[in-house]
Amino acid sequence: MNVRMFRLCAVGSGWLALAVSSAIADQAECEATVRAIMAPFGDNAPEQQLNRFGTSVTKFGENEMRGYSLQTAEGSLYYDADKNPASLSFVNGDVYTSMDKGKTWTLANSTPKEVMDTAIAGIFSQAEKATNITCEYGVDLDGKTVNHYAVDYQTYNTGTPTRSEYWVDPETGFVWRDTMHSKGDPEMFITVDAEPAPDMTLPDPKG
């Protein structure tokens, strides 16, 4: 091999090494982003969590449930198909239900802190063990430019194979759409399409 050919090969190898190194770094960043979305607690918690309100469609077997949900940093409020408040849950483990369209609330369950901590640890574990993580940047979602993330994992408490996808605003981190396909028996599909809801808050169940 002459000197010129050797230099060309050396340059080509250098560019290839840089490309491979960059691809590895990009994939590592991609996986870190998705794992943080899956387990948004502690160090993974977003600097600014925007309230989300939107439609929720759950399909399992031949059944389908439609409703609405409000998700905040404090918890979640679920509405029926007529937008009547029906279920209220807080991050501390308290769950309330309402039989009168949100006028009054009854404590249905209060999960002990140690059980909540175990659940959070399980969510972290399923995020860390997740596979087939992909990231696609700058895709279109109903006229909005978003990043699309997809991931396969097994739920920590049942081991059910599951696939989730997220359509995320690249600037704010807001999740415009998320889907979950649980491949149990029966299979279950959940789709949430949301909008920012900065003026919406959770009701005080004791007030």
Residue 61, in any domain of the structure = yes
Residue 46: per-residue pLDDT: 77
Residue 25: per-residue pLDDT: 57
Residue 12, in any domain of the structure = no
User: In tens digits, what is the pLDDT along the chain, a chain of 207 residues?
Assistant: 454 444 444 445 444 443 444 445 588 999 999 999 999 888 887 777 789 999 999 999 889 999 999 999 999 999 999 999 999 999 999 999 999 999 999 999 999 999 999 999 999 999 999 999 999 999 999 999 999 999 999 999 999 999 999 999 999 999 999 999 999 999 999 999 999 999 999 999 997
CATH number reported for the structural domain that contains residue 58 in this entry: 2.50.20
Laid out side by side, the sheet with 75-79 consists of 106-110, 94-97, 85-90, 75-79, 63-71, 52-60, 188-196, 175-182, 161-168, 144-154, 131-141
Residue ranges making up the domain that contains 70 = 38-196
Residue 8, in any domain of the structure = no
Residue 54, in any domain of the structure = yes
Residue 140, in any domain of the structure = yes
Cα-based distances in Å from 20 to 13, 14, 32, 76, 174: 10, 10, 18, 43, 31
Phi-psi region of 101 (alpha: psi -120 to 50; beta: other; left: phi over 0): left
Give just the sign of the alpha carbon dihedral 109, 115, 117, 120.
Answer: negative
Residue 185, in any domain of the structure = yes
**How many domains does one find in the chain?**
1
153 Cα distance to chain centroid: 12
Residue 86, in any domain of the structure = yes
